[in-house]
């Protein structure tokens, strides 16, 4: 069995969930990178430098935010790493970290609901932008983006486990 890094008092399920989040975000990131560099994953009506910067920036931001989920199960989620200016070595505020993670989970859930609604209602299907052409491209798109549906619930679960572990008194 593969050993996942985490603090000793973190439940195993929370460790697995935290490590799964960056992996769930990775397929959509790879799809956007492939699209940006001209792979035939979809048709882009107006490829511009601005669109490429946006897609790569969104990819980097999404992976960074997904990676922060690991902080809820590792030591750097309790004490800032020493290399961070001004914060290095100081304890991470448990309430603030839990609130930020839960707020992020709520935001992700809202975005997920909105995008599912937009896709289901067919809003913007004929608008200019990116279009999948054919079942292969559409299947690849869904295969890359459907894992994102699990991001919000996994983040919420790991954040609640973090909050319980750090803020709730232990019972003898």
Cα separation, 20 vs 27, whole angstroms: 12
**What pLDDT is recorded for position 72?**
95
Which pTM value belongs to this model? 0.89
Reading the chain (172 residues) residue by residue, the pLDDT tens digits are 567 888 888 999 999 999 999 999 999 999 999 999 989 888 887 789 998 999 999 999 999 999 999 999 999 989 998 898 998 889 999 999 999 999 999 999 999 999 888 877 777 665 555 677 888 988 899 899 999 999 999 999 999 999 999 988 665 5
Distant-in-sequence, close-in-space partners of 154: CB < 8 Å, separation ≥ 6: 17, 18, 20, 21, 24, 69
Main-chain phi, psi angles of 123, to 5 degrees: -70, 130
């Amino acid at each position: 069995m593969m050993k996942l890094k985490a603090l000793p008092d973190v439940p195993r399920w929370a460790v697995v969930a935290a490590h799964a989040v960056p992996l769930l975000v990775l397929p959509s990131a790879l799809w956007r990178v492939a699209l940006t560099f001209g792979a035939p994953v979809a048709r882009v009506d107006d490829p511009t430098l601005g669109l490429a910067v946006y897609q790569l920036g969104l990819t980097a931001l999404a992976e960074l935010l997904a990676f922060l989920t690991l902080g809820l199960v590792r030591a750097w989620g309790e004490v800032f790493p020493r290399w961070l200016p001004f914060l290095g070595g100081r304890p991470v505020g448990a309430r603030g970290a839990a609130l930020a993670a839960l707020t992020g989970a709520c935001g992700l859930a809202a975005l997920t609901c909105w995008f599912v609604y937009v896709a289901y209602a067919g809003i913007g299907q004929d608008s200019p932008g990116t279009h999948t052409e054919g079942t292969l491209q559409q299947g690849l798109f869904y295969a890359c983006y459907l894992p994102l549906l699990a991001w919000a619930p996994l983040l919420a679960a790991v954040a609640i486990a973090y909050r319980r572990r750090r803020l709730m008194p232990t019972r003898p």
